């Protein structure tokens, strides 16, 4: 962690996780590193936020009640096919990984999150745009 000084405006991220502690912890870390983060406890809330504003990146948990990460990914891509979506999971299922990538996920990472690795991934996404 260390928040690089950057002349570009901060990237805006929607972070989706039904685990409130995980959501708050990762939101705090990303905010400290210069990202603007909007936290959502479910996919429906994230989709509502996307109706009113353009975001750069979505980070979502895979397994959530009502709407899982893959379903959320597919809905996000209908709204904004260009947005980068990262799926986070505690479960390393090959079928789910392939479905996520085939559905347009930028990447699929495992919990516990390697935070430095996530920052590098976000930097890669930011440099593509």
| Region 35-58 average pLDDT | 96
Domain boundaries, the chain: 12-128
pLDDT digits (tens, 9 = 90+) for 64-75: 999 999 999 999
Superfamily of domain 12-128: Response regulator (3.40.50.2300)
CA distance 110 to 125: 18
pLDDT at 109 over 90: yes
What is the H or E stretch that residue 55 is in? Answer: none
Q: Give the model's pLDDT for residue 91.
A: 80
pLDDT of residue 117 exceeding 90, the answer is yes
Half-sphere exposure of residue 73: CA atoms within 13 angstroms, side-chain side: 26
**pTM for the structure as a whole:** 0.91
pLDDT score for 3: 47
């Amino acid at each position: 962690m260390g928040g690089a000084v950057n002349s570009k405006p901060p990237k805006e991220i929607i972070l989706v996780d039904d685990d409130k502690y995980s959501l708050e912890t990762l939101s705090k870390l990303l905010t400290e590193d210069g990202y603007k983060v909007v936290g959502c406890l479910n996919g429906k809330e994230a989709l509502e936020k996307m109706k009113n504003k353009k975001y750069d990146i979505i980070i979502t948990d895979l397994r959530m009640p009502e709407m899982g990460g893959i379903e959320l990914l597919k809905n996000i891509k209908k709204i904004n096919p260009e947005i980068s979506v990262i799926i986070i999971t505690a479960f390393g299922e090959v079928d789910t990984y392939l479905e996520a990538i085939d559905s347009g996920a930028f990447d699929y990472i495992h919990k516990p999150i390697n935070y430095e690795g996530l920052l590098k991934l976000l930097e890669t996404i930011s440099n593509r745009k």
